[in-house]
Amino acid sequence: MTITSPRFSLILFSLLIASFVTHAEVPVWQYEVIKRFRHDTHAYTQGLLIHNHTVYESTGLYGRSDLRRYAFADHEPDKIALPRRYFGEGIAVVGDRLYQLTWQEGIVYVYDVKSFKMLGRMRLPTQEGWGLTSNGKLMFMTDGSSTLYRILPNGFKIIAQVEVTADGKPVDKLNELEYIDGLIYANVYETDRIAVIDPDTGKIQAWLDLKGLTGPWTPTDPGAVLNGIAYDAKDQATYVTGKLWPWMYQIRVKK
């Protein structure tokens, strides 16, 4: 016969509650499409941002990588082509400078965001560059792993890093990034989900599930995956797109 004391039962109950809290599932947010805009189907989107109501986009692939600047209504963006041996990646703006990562070439390009002219380049502090975003003073970067780096623009130096986790497990393949209201939204490469990350702890606060976003249009190229998040702080509008997609979508996040 087993005798369970009231004190033991209370301890057991407390442990069960703590376990439930610790392993509670990350909430999943939904979305609503507000508008859609034409997007170049030749643009292998690697980085996307909006600055002063202007869209800046970094595209990838060797021999096709460039930096673009355009308004939503434009069909012919301004472009700065990268050398054929470079593969463009994430972008971010700090002050009057725009920074563009390269994938495996170890280079960060620097541009004047107003004149849209290349100013020079710096060394990338990691083996690969994937996503990049900014809170206006510092930048945050990913390299395809589960690590989120905090970057000082001056010299492009790593000053801190955290591991991104969900339910205590690392989440890798963190790709294109956007800083929105103190949180970092990160495309998880080759999925329809965006991780919403606390940049201080690395913990994923929510998943933004964009399944079904393309509607009746279905990508036929296996590389045409969701990738590209931009936030217009002035209008509080969120935009998403994908590699080689014909559309960019303005969405409302439903928490």
Q: 32 falls in which pLDDT band (50, 70, 90)?
A: very high
Position 123 in a domain:
yes
Looking at residues 17-46, what average pLDDT do you find?
Answer: 81
Question: Rounded distance, CA 97 to CA 110, Å?
Answer: 7
pLDDT tens, position by position, 92-110: 999 999 999 999 999 999 9
CATH number for the domain spanning 111: value is: 2.120.10.30
Beta-bridge partners for 38: 247
Q: Inform me whether the pLDDT recorded for 149 exceeds 60.
A: yes
Question: What is the longest distance spanned by two Cα atoms in the chain?
Answer: 83
130 within 8 A of 89, measured Cβ to Cβ: yes
Of the candidates 182, 76, 72, the one whose C-alpha atom is nearest the C-alpha of residue 133 is 182
Position 193 in a domain:
yes
Of the candidates 72, 86, 85, the one whose C-alpha atom is nearest the C-alpha of residue 232 is 72
Position 191 in a domain:
yes
Position 91 in a domain:
yes
Position 10 in a domain:
no
Q: 50 falls in which pLDDT band (50, 70, 90)?
A: very high
Count: domains in the chain: 1
**What kind and span of H or E run contains 14?**
helix 6-22
Rounded to 5 degrees, what are φ and ψ at 12? Answer: -60, -45
Position 165 in a domain:
yes
Looking at residues 20-38, what average pLDDT do you find?
Answer: 81
Q: Inform me whether the pLDDT recorded for 75 exceeds 70.
A: no
Position 5 in a domain:
no
Which pLDDT does position 79 carry in this prediction?
Answer: 96
Position 4 in a domain:
no
pLDDT tens, position by position, 195-248: 999 999 999 999 999 999 987 777 778 899 999 999 998 889 999 999 999 999
Mean pLDDT of the chain: 90
Which pLDDT does position 16 carry in this prediction?
Answer: 43
Q: Domain containing 212: what range?
A: 26-254
Which pLDDT does position 25 carry in this prediction?
Answer: 87
pTM value?
A: 0.88
Burial label for 189, CB within 10 Å (0-12, 13-18, 19+), is middle
122 Cβ contact list (under 8 Å, min separation 6): 107, 108, 110, 155, 156
